[in-house]
């Protein structure tokens, strides 16, 4: 049981480092920091566990592997929650509804997302990120999936089929 405290502490450190980085340093691509923190903490956890509980049996090796996998899963779950909840469309929508009572009228809310330029508010934020990330290419009017984007589209389609999810992730 004591061996699980080390990975749990690493997960807490991951959260603290990630939060501090985003809150105070505002990096352009925080996911690189998240990845670095997760990898460094996996190595540190391995070092601490091996120092205090050396591997003397297969059970010890499997215990270490299980602890590291749980730690990685928890870090990736927090990472995903950060992007999905805090920067996702639904989170932004909830923020708008909470902070602006006028937007609680359905028609006003829809109009607020239409935007003033060529793209609505939803796409104006997402498309440049997809281009910058190498997921799509654009020539102004047309968007083209790049290999990385094509792979993501196929993976998403497979996930929808395997888990019987509808578009947007809702269960059918």
152 burial (CB, 10 Å; 0-12 / 13-18 / 19+) is middle
DSSP H/E element including 163? helix 147-163
136 burial (CB, 10 Å; 0-12 / 13-18 / 19+) is buried
48 burial (CB, 10 Å; 0-12 / 13-18 / 19+) is middle
104 burial (CB, 10 Å; 0-12 / 13-18 / 19+) is exposed
Q: Report which of 161, 158, 140 is spatially closest to residue 150, judged by C-alpha positions.
A: 158
pLDDT tens profile 66-124: 999 999 999 988 888 777 666 667 777 787 888 999 989 988 888 888 766 677 877 77
- For the chain, what's the residue count? 172
pLDDT at 164: 62
Is 50 exceeded by the pLDDT of residue 13? yes
d(CA 172, CA 168) in angstroms, rounded, equals 11
At 3, the pLDDT band (50, 70, 90 cuts) reads confident
Residues of the chain with pLDDT > 70, as a percent, come to 90
Mean pLDDT of the chain: 85
Residues paired with residue 165 on neighbouring β-strands, in sequence order: 171
Query: What is the rounded average pLDDT of the residues 46-66?
Result: 94
d(CA 3, CA 18) in angstroms, rounded, equals 24
DSSP string, 64-118: HHHHHHHHHHHHHHHHHHIIIIISSHHHHHHHHHHH-GGGGSHHHHHHHHH-SSS
Minimum mean pLDDT range among 39-48, 123-132, 138-147, 149-158: 123-132
pLDDT at 30: 84
Is 80 exceeded by the pLDDT of residue 9? yes
Query: What is the rounded average pLDDT of the residues 11-33?
Result: 88
Query: What is the rounded average pLDDT of the residues 38-58?
Result: 95
């Amino acid at each position: 049981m004591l061996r699980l405290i080390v990975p749990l502490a690493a997960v807490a450190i991951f959260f603290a480092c990630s939060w501090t980085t985003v809150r105070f340093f505002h990096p352009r691509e925080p996911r690189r920091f998240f990845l670095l923190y997760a990898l460094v903490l996996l190595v540190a956890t391995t070092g601490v566990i091996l120092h205090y509980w050396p591997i003397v049996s297969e059970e010890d090796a499997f215990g270490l592997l299980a602890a590291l996998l749980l730690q990685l899963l928890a870090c990736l779950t927090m990472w995903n929650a950060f992007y999905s909840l805090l920067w996702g469309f639904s989170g932004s929508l909830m923020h708008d509804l909470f902070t602006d009572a006028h937007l609680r009228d359905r028609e006003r809310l829809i109009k607020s997302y239409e935007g003033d330029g060529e793209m609505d508010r939803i796409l104006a934020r997402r498309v440049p990120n997809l281009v910058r990330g190498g997921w799509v290419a654009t020539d102004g009017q047309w968007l083209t999936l790049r290999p990385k984007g094509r792979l993501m589209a196929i993976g998403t389609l497979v996930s929808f089929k395997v888990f019987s999810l509808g578009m947007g992730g809702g269960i059918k």
